[in-house]
Amino acid sequence: MAIEKVYRVPEAAEALCVSPWTIWAKLKNGTLRRTKIGGVTVIRESELQRLMVDQPPKAPKARVGAR
């Protein structure tokens, strides 16, 4: 049996290059599933990978008038 890596919210946010608030919002709206270990919210690595496949990062918007 393989042990899967888990991330706390700040670690998951850093891994996805988003703010912790974004992770909490995704947990609240059901886009991301949580696991609780001893009352601490953690996210499985497979959940982060699933999120990246389902919702790939958006390309930065081009700045109007930029040279």
pLDDT tens digits along 10-22 = 999 999 889 999 9
What is the arithmetic mean of pLDDT over 58-65?
Answer: 64
What is the arithmetic mean of pLDDT over 41-50?
Answer: 93
Q: Is the dihedral of CA 38, 41, 42, 43 positive or negative?
A: positive
Looking at residue 60, its pLDDT comes to 60
What is the arithmetic mean of pLDDT over 27-46?
Answer: 94
- Segment holding 44, helix H or strand E: strand 40-44
Query: Would the pTM count as exceeding 0.85?
Result: no
